[in-house]
Amino acid sequence: MTRRFAGILLCGAILTGLALADDALPKAETILDHFVEVTGGKAAYEKHKSEVMTGTVDMSAQNVKGTLTRYSAPPDKTYTVMELDGVGKMEEGAAGGVAWENSPISGPRVKTGEEKAQSLREAVFNGPLNWRQMYTKVETAGVETIDGEDCYKVVLTPADGPPETQYYQKKSGLAVRMVTTTSTPMGDFPVEQDLSDYKSFDGVLMPTKMVEKIGPQQFQITIDSVKVNQDVAADQFNPPADVKALLEKK
Amino acid sequence: MVAGILLLAATAFAQLTAEQKQLNIESFEKVWSTIRDKHWEKNPGGLDWQAIHEEYRPKIEQATSTEQARQVMRDMIARLHETHFAIFPGSVYEDVGAEAAAGGNGSPGFDTRVLDGQAIVTSIDAGSSAEKAGVHTGWAVLRAGGKDLTPVIQKLKAVPELHELTLERAVETALSGPQGGELPVTFLDGENHERSMNLRLDPPRGEPSHFGNLPTEYVWFESKKIGNVGYVRFNLFLDLVRVMGRFGKAVTDCKTCDGFIIDLRGNPGGIGGMAMGMAGFLVDKPDQKLGTMYMRGVTLKFVINPRMGAFDGPVAVLVDGCSASTSEIFAGGLQDLGRARIFGTKTAAAALPSEIEKLPNGDGFQYAIANYISEGGKALEGNGVTPDEQVTLTRAALLAGHDPVLDAALQWIKKQRDRK
C-alpha cells in the first residue's frame, strides 16, 4: 500500500505552464508542466532537499487503523514505515538501485522485476520535476468527468511495467486520480487512487487525502505534516540487517 | 377421525400468513442478490443469474409453506453445483450458535470433539476448573447447563450441509457461558458412570487479541520439544506479531531437531497471510506458493518468501475436522509442495470465509465468497485436506492418555531419522 502512497509524488512534469485551451486536447507534456506550475512551480520544488511525511492509514471497512512516516531525499532515496493495529510494523525502502520490504508476515525481501522498477520510480525525489527519468512516453488520451469536473486523461508509460493513467482537472490543473496496476509477489492488482485536499508545504501543494482501492480493499491515507529540509540521518535509507544479509547472499 | 386431524394439520401447515409469505420472498431476494454480488464469478457457476431469478421467483411466490419456500431456495443454489451454499431451517440456525455471542465466552477449561455421536473431552487446560475437578480426557459430556448434548449433536449431524466445524462450535457454545459463572456438567467417566459437577467458567485460555472488525479473540501458542522433535500448537492465526514471532523462534531454535510438528487440530484459521509467512520458515526454495485464491476481480497468489536458514528437516502437520481456512491453506499447500506430511482426519473443507447470515424468515443462509485452489490444483473449499496418514482419535485412546495422531507423526519422524 505504501507503494501507491509513494506514487502520489509522481504526478508532475518539468516545464512551466502554458495556457490550456478549453476545446482542444493539450499535449500530455503541457498538462504535466501545468501541474508543476499550479502546485508551486519548478523553483519551489527545487528548494526541497528532503521531506519527512507523517500521516494515518484507515481501512474503515475492516476497522484497521495505523500510522505512517515516509522519509525521502535526492536523488532516489525513500524509507517508509507503517504501523497497523494488529499487523505490526511494516517497512519498505529504495535507494541506490535496490528496493526492499520487511514485515512481520513475510519477513525481509528484496524486490525484483517490475515490482522493483515500480518502487525505484516512486523513489525519485521531486518526481514532478523528473518524470522523464521515469516514463518513456506520455500522451493525452481524452477528457473524462470525475466528481462533476472535466479532467484530462494522461497515459504515462514507463520503460519497465504497465502504463499508468492520471487524471488532471481542466479547471485547477491538479491531479485528482491515478489508475495503474501494481506488481507484487501475490499478483498484479488494479489500483485506483483518488487525490484531494491539497495543502502547501514549503511552497509546494501536495494532496493530503488519498483514497485507494485495490480490488475489494479500500483505504484512506491522510497526511498530517510534511517537514521539508529537516536533518535526515545519513543511515536512514540503509536497509535493515536482515535485508543486508539477503543482499550479501545474492 | 385420525385422517381428519391429519388433513386439518396438513391444511394448517400449508397456510402462510401474508406476512410470512412476504418474508419468504424477501429471503429469496436476499439469497439471490447475495450470490449475484458476492460470488467470485461474475456469472455465478457459469449461469445467467438474472434468468435464474426469473425462473425461481414465481416458484417462491407460489410456495404455500416455509418448507416449500426453503426448498425453492435450495433448488436455486443447487444450480451452482458448489459446496458451502446452504439454507438451514431457523431451529438449526439457532443451534449452530450463530446468535450465541450474548452467552459469554467463559470456559470450563477443556476441549471436546464429537466422536461416535458424543462430545468427548480431548484436552484439559492446565490450572482450569476442569483439571481441578478431576475431569479426564476421554470422558463423554452428556449434559451441559441442563441441556442434553446428544440430541443436539444428532440434529446437527442430520443436516448434511453442516460441516464438522459448525457442529463442534455448537458443542463449544453449549459449554460456555458468562465468565465467573458456574456450568453444571454431567460426564460419563472412564468407568461409564455418570459424574455431575459444577465447573467455574474462567476467561478463555490465551491473550486477548484485537484485529479489525473481529470480536476480541483469545490466542494461545505453545511450543515444546518432544525428545529431539519440535512441536508447536496455537489456536488461531491471529495476534500476528506475537504468534509469528514465537513460531519463527520455535523453528529457528530447532535447527538441529530430527523433525518439526505443527499441530493445527481445532485451529479454525485467521489471517491468511500468516500461512505464507510461517511456510517461509520451512521452505528454502524461491518462487513456491501454497495456492491461489480467486475473488471477484482479484486473484491472490499465496507466495512463500523463504527465510534465511529455513528448517530443512521433516515436517508433520496435524489436522482434524476443526482445522479450517488458513489451517487448510497452510497444510494443503505444504502437502502439495511435498514439504510436509499430514496426519489426522480430513479438514473442515472451509478454506474460505464462508459466511452464515440470518434471512428475513429466520432461516440461515451460508455462502462462500471466493474459491481457493491449492498448489496441487485441488479446490480446498468443499474438499478439504485429506491427510497422508489418516489417524482417528478414539475415546479408548484418550482414556488411556494417548494421542494417536501425535504418536503417528512422531513415529514417522523417527523413521526419517533412522533412514539417515
pLDDT at position A20, please?
A: 43
Residue A120 and residue A77 in contact, taking contact as beta carbons nearer than 8 Å: no
Does residue B358 sit within a domain?
no
Of B200, B227, B262, the last residue of a domain is B200
Does residue B52 sit within a domain?
yes
Supply the mean pLDDT for chain B.
Answer: 89
Q: How distant is the alpha carbon of residue B289 from its chain centre? A: 23
Q: Calculate how close chain A gets to B241, using CA atoms only, in Å.
A: 6
The CA distance from B313 to B291, in Å, is: 22
Does residue B360 sit within a domain?
no
Question: Do both B187 and B214 map to the same domain?
Answer: no
Cβ neighbours of B298 in A, within 8 Å: 187, 189, 215-216
Closest CA to B174 of B193, B195, B155, B194: B155
Phi, psi (degrees; rounded to nearest 5) at B319: -135, 165
pLDDT digit string (tens) for B182-206?
Answer: 999 999 999 999 999 999 999 999 9
Alpha-carbon dihedral angle through residues B217, B167, B403, B409, given to the nearest 10 degrees:
-80
The CA distance from A78 to A237, in Å, is: 6
Question: Do both B242 and B194 map to the same domain?
Answer: no
Cis peptide before B203 (omega within 30 of 0): no
Alpha-helical runs (H) found in B125-263: 129-132, 149-157, 164-174, 240-252
3-state secondary structure of B395: helix
Q: Which of B37, B244, B246 to mutate against chain A (most A CBs within 10 Å)?
A: B244
A59: which residues sit within 8 A by CB, 6+ positions away? A65, A217, A218, A219, B212
Amino acid at B81: H
3-state secondary structure of B397: helix
The CA distance from A167 to A201, in Å, is: 22
Q: Is B320 left (phi over 0), alpha (psi -120 to 50) or beta?
A: beta
Question: Do both B348 and B274 map to the same domain?
Answer: yes
Q: What is the DSSP string of B25-66?
A: HHHHHHHHHHHHHHSSSSSGGGS-HHHHHHHHHHHHHH--SH
**Which candidate from A86, A187, A216 shows the least CB-CB separation from B212?**
A86
Of B147, B172, B200, the last residue of a domain is B200
The CA distance from B32 to B44, in Å, is: 11
Question: Do both B342 and B245 map to the same domain?
Answer: yes
The CA distance from B302 to B280, in Å, is: 11
How is chain A split into domains, by residue range? 2-249
pLDDT at position B210, please?
A: 86
How many structural domains compose chain B?
3
Q: How distant is the alpha carbon of residue A24 from its chain centre? A: 29
The CATH code for residues A2-249 is: 2.50.20.10
The CA distance from B221 to B234, in Å, is: 4
Phi, psi (degrees; rounded to nearest 5) at A229: 60, 35
Cβ atoms < 10 Å from Cβ of B264: 28
**Which candidate from A104, A189, A246 shows the least CB-CB separation from B244?**
A104
3-state secondary structure of B253: coil
Does residue B86 sit within a domain?
no
Question: Do both B255 and B328 map to the same domain?
Answer: yes
**Which candidate from A63, A64, A189 shows the least CB-CB separation from B298?**
A189
The domain of B71 spans: 2-81
Identify the residue whose cell numbers are 530447532: B254
Q: Calculate how close chain A gets to B213, using CA atoms only, in Å.
A: 5
Q: Is B283 exposed, middle or buried (0-12, 13-18, 19+ CB in 10 A)?
A: buried
3-state secondary structure of A180: strand
β-bridge pairing B364-367 and B355-358: antiparallel
Amino acid at B412: W
Supply the mean pLDDT for chain A.
Answer: 88
Closest CA to B274 of A240, A66, A107, A185: A107
pLDDT digit string (tens) for A49-96?
Answer: 999 999 999 988 778 899 999 999 999 999 999 999 989 999 999 999
Residue A58 and residue A220 in contact, taking contact as beta carbons nearer than 8 Å: yes
Phi, psi (degrees; rounded to nearest 5) at B234: -150, 155
Give the count of Cβ contacts less than 8 A between chain A and B: 69
pLDDT at position B8, please?
A: 33
Q: How distant is the alpha carbon of residue B230 from its chain centre? A: 25
Give the CATH number of the domain where residue B232 resides: 3.90.226.10
Does residue B93 sit within a domain?
no
Question: Do both B230 and B324 map to the same domain?
Answer: yes
Q: Calculate how close chain B gets to A214, using CA atoms only, in Å.
A: 9
Cβ neighbours of A64 in B, within 8 Å: 211-212
pLDDT at position B367, please?
A: 85
DSSP type of residue B347: -
Question: Do both B234 and B184 map to the same domain?
Answer: no
The CA distance from B49 to B56, in Å, is: 11
DSSP type of residue B270: B
Largest Cα separation within chain A, whole Å, is 57
From first to last of its 420 residues, chain B has per-residue pLDDT tens of 333 333 333 333 346 788 999 999 999 999 999 999 888 888 999 999 999 999 999 999 999 998 899 999 999 999 998 777 888 887 666 655 544 444 688 999 999 999 999 999 999 999 999 999 999 999 999 999 988 998 889 888 887 767 777 888 889 888 999 999 999 999 999 999 999 999 999 999 999 998 887 778 899 999 999 999 999 999 999 999 999 999 999 999 999 999 999 999 999 998 889 999 999 999 999 999 999 998 877 889 999 999 988 999 999 999 999 999 899 999 999 999 999 999 999 998 887 766 778 899 998 888 888 888 999 998 887 789 999 999 999 999 999 999 999 999 999 999 999 987
Chain A contact for B297, CB < 8 A? yes
Helices B66-78 and B49-62 sit at what angle, rounded to 10 degrees?
A: 160
ipTM of the complex: 0.85
- pTM of structure: 0.84
Q: Calculate how close chain B gets to A135, using CA atoms only, in Å.
A: 27
**Which candidate from A107, A187, A245 shows the least CB-CB separation from B300?**
A187
Strand partners, A59: A64
Question: Do both B51 and B112 map to the same domain?
Answer: no
For chain A positions 189-208, those within 8 Å of chain B (CB to CB) are: 189-190
Does residue B90 sit within a domain?
no
Residue B403 and residue B410 in contact, taking contact as beta carbons nearer than 8 Å: no
